[in-house]
Amino acid sequence: MAIKAAFMVPHPPMIVPAVGKGSEAQVKTTSDAYDEVAKRIAELKPDTIIISSPHASMYADYINISSGKGDTGSLADFRAPEVKFDETYDTELVARIETLASLEGLDAGTLGRQHNGLDHGTMVPLFFIEKYYKDFKLVRIGLSGLDLTKHYELGMLVQKACEELGRNAVYVASGDLSHKLQPYGPYGFAPEGPEYDKRIMDVAERAAFGELFAFEESFCEKAAECGHRSFVIMAGALDGKSVKAEVFSHEDVTGVGYGIAEFKVLGDDNNRCFLKSYMDKNQKRLDANRDKSDEYVRLASESIEYYLKNGSMLDLGDCKTEVPAEMKDTRAGAFVSIHEHGRLRGCIGTILPVTDCLANEIIRNAVCASTEDPRFNPIETDELPWLEINVDVLSAPEPVASVDELDPKKYGVIVTKDGRRGLLLPDLEGVDSVEQQISISKQKAGIGQDEEVELQRFTVTRHV
């Protein structure tokens, strides 16, 4: 016994009649599909229902799983306090998932819960399910800022825990699609919105879960989706399983995408181990890129590896990378950027040189980017095979009299106000206008968006 089926569902509170007060009629197709999902869950009579929700406790570097014996909640925040829930958690299954995560070195478990009570991303699915079936225990899983592979890995551990404990289980991936589908919607329109919904529903129709890794972070952000990581955990929970996919509905009449689909488990299928396929393909790509990288990137990479393994800074005279004279004889500011599985993992640099040569500037900043970027935990040695490293060498900054002299693709920008200074490199994915570039730079410096600033620009030579 294990996971018998998984379902992809949305969570608009207005679909609950006590909240919608008649407005739910505009998404009747979604409501009818939801009822069908609930009936199918009732037919399966699961011991446990696992729900992943974007609105449960969320951390940048940790996936929270429900703690305690149970939880209560209501839709009082949506003017329907009479819609109440009192759920019992499957504490044995939670404990086993947490143990497996610890053994695998995955940052997931019951630590760090922010608040008590069920969230609406969990309660909306429960509202429909409990119309037809109530004899189950619950496991609630939040999302995180960790990359997609970590969420998929957690899903795999959920599957393993269910199998080890003999649970008859159902997985429910709660998540709305794009919030930018219509100009009249609450978040307006972005072209990435309809594209996201089209792609995700196509993935659902074919159960092509390996393609979930191909949704770039910047694309998902522009589409303003909220459920992608929830769907990825679900995919991991079905890893290595043959499934029958059925899409029930997709609506975008409110400006937010609501998609409903079922994935019924038919048996084992070793050809559907999507994380392994993705990692193998990615490893080959990274190895090929490293073979083509220049001395700047190789020096940064060697510096990071040396520091993580030895705890000290690489001495230029001892490095294996052949360092050309231009790097030893030149002084310049440099930034080292590190990505892992498509997500930024660290970026630190210097606007003006602080060491005696560019080579040492790169060594210093590579180590700082991997261990001192305050936005991330320090990189660990087991991450080394998956790192993608860029080195940007900066020209000397020059003053700018007008924003007309800026170009986000060509120039980086420096903003300064009363000793506060922020910088943004040029040609960054998702930064398409001067206004965006300046706004982000101000934010990084802690400068108010309405404050006047001194502007400087610079160019970079990018090494990949």
Check whether residue 42 and residue 111 sit in a common domain: yes
Structure tokens at 10: 């949305």
For residue 123, the number of C-alpha atoms closer than 13 Å in the C-beta half-sphere is 26
Is 282 within the bounds of a domain? Answer: no
DSSP annotation of 313 reads: P
Is it the case that residue 368 has pLDDT exceeding 80? yes
Q: Percent of the chain at pLDDT above 70?
A: 99
259: which residues sit within 8 A by CB, 6+ positions away?
8, 10, 177, 197, 200, 201, 204, 247, 249, 250
Angle at 123 between CA 120 and CA 128, to 5 degrees: 130
For residue 26, the number of C-alpha atoms closer than 13 Å in the C-beta half-sphere is 12
pLDDT of residue 343: 87
Check whether residue 18 and residue 95 sit in a common domain: yes
Evaluated on CA atoms 279, 284, 285, 286, the torsion sign reads: positive
Q: How far is CA 300 from CA 327, 442, 463, in A?
A: 12, 28, 11
> What CATH number does residue 266 fall under?
3.40.830.10
Is 182 within the bounds of a domain? Answer: yes
Is 284 within the bounds of a domain? Answer: no
CB-CB contact of 171 with 3 (8 Å): yes
Paired sense of beta strands 48-52 and 343-349, if any: unpaired
Distance CA 255, CA 178 (A): 8
> For residue 21, how many other CB atoms are within 10 A of its CB?
11
CB-CB contact of 34 with 132 (8 Å): no
Check whether residue 123 and residue 241 sit in a common domain: yes
Mean pLDDT value across residues 103-112: 94
DSSP per-residue letters across 6-51: EEEE---GGGSHHHHTTGGGGGHHHHHHHHHHHHHHHHH--SEEEE
Listed residues 229, 245, 277: the one ending a domain: 277
Distance CA 124, CA 121 (A): 6
- Whether the predicted model's global pTM rises above the 0.95 cut: no
pLDDT in tens, 405-444: 999 999 999 999 999 999 999 998 889 899 999 999 999 9
> For residue 294, how many other CB atoms are within 10 A of its CB?
12
pLDDT of residue 438: 95
Structure tokens at 7: 């379902």
> What CATH number does residue 319 fall under?
3.30.700.20
Is 287 within the bounds of a domain? Answer: no
Listed residues 277, 311, 326: the one ending a domain: 277
Report residue 218's pLDDT band, with 50, 70 and 90 as the boundaries. confident
Average pLDDT, whole number, for the chain? Answer: 95
Check whether residue 257 and residue 142 sit in a common domain: yes
Check whether residue 154 and residue 196 sit in a common domain: yes
Which range has the top average pLDDT, 66-70, 97-101, 184-188? 97-101
pLDDT in tens, 268-309: 999 999 999 999 999 999 999 999 999 999 999 999 999 999
Longest dimension (CA), the chain: 75
Is 285 within the bounds of a domain? Answer: no
Check whether residue 16 and residue 136 sit in a common domain: yes
Distance CA 247, CA 224 (A): 22
Is 339 within the bounds of a domain? Answer: no
Check whether residue 9 and residue 70 sit in a common domain: yes
Check whether residue 263 and residue 314 sit in a common domain: no
Distance CA 110, CA 112 (A): 7
Spacing of C-alpha 386 from chain mean position: 16
Check whether residue 261 and residue 381 sit in a common domain: no
DSSP annotation of 59 reads: B
Mean pLDDT value across residues 143-162: 97
> What CATH number does residue 407 fall under?
3.30.1490.150
Is 29 within the bounds of a domain? Answer: yes
Is 283 within the bounds of a domain? Answer: no
Check whether residue 325 and residue 444 sit in a common domain: no
Give the residue among 78, 97, 81, 100 at the shortest CA–CA distance from 89: 97
Check whether residue 217 and residue 172 sit in a common domain: yes
Structure tokens at 233: 């955990």
Give the residue among 68, 44, 92, 228 at the shortest CA–CA distance from 151: 228
Q: Where are the beta strands (DSSP E) in 252-405?
A: 258-268, 334-340, 343-349, 387-394, 398-400
Mean pLDDT value across residues 437-452: 94
Listed residues 244, 277, 310: the one ending a domain: 277
pLDDT of residue 72: 96
pLDDT in tens, 369-392: 999 999 899 999 999 999 999 999
pLDDT of residue 429: 82
Is it the case that residue 17 has pLDDT exceeding 70? yes
Token pair 């220049």 is found at 294
Distance CA 235, CA 245 (A): 12
Structure tokens at 446: 């802690």
Is it the case that residue 114 has pLDDT exceeding 70? no
CB-CB contact of 203 with 212 (8 Å): yes
Report residue 115's pLDDT band, with 50, 70 and 90 as the boundaries. low
Is it the case that residue 1 has pLDDT exceeding 70? no
CB-CB contact of 315 with 296 (8 Å): no
For residue 428, the enclosing domain spans: 395-464
Is it the case that residue 155 has pLDDT exceeding 60? yes
What does the buried/exposed string (b/e) look like for 174-210 if buried means 16 or more CB atoms within 10 Å of the residue's CB? bbbbbbbbbeebeeeebebbbebbebbbebbeebebb
Give the residue among 152, 173, 388 at the shortest CA–CA distance from 276: 152
Check whether residue 96 and residue 222 sit in a common domain: yes
Structure tokens at 388: 């993608």
Spacing of C-alpha 442 from chain mean position: 24
Is it the case that residue 346 has pLDDT exceeding 90? yes
Report residue 342's pLDDT band, with 50, 70 and 90 as the boundaries. confident
Number of domains making up the chain: 3
Give the residue among 301, 341, 329, 299 at the shortest CA–CA distance from 316: 299
Q: Which amino acid is at 284?
A: K
Structure tokens at 413: 């920008």
pLDDT of residue 112: 80
pLDDT of residue 333: 96
Beta sheet of 3-9, edge-to-edge order: 137-141, 48-52, 169-174, 3-9, 258-268, 241-251
Q: Three-class SS of residue 458?
A: strand
Token pair 């959920």 is found at 158
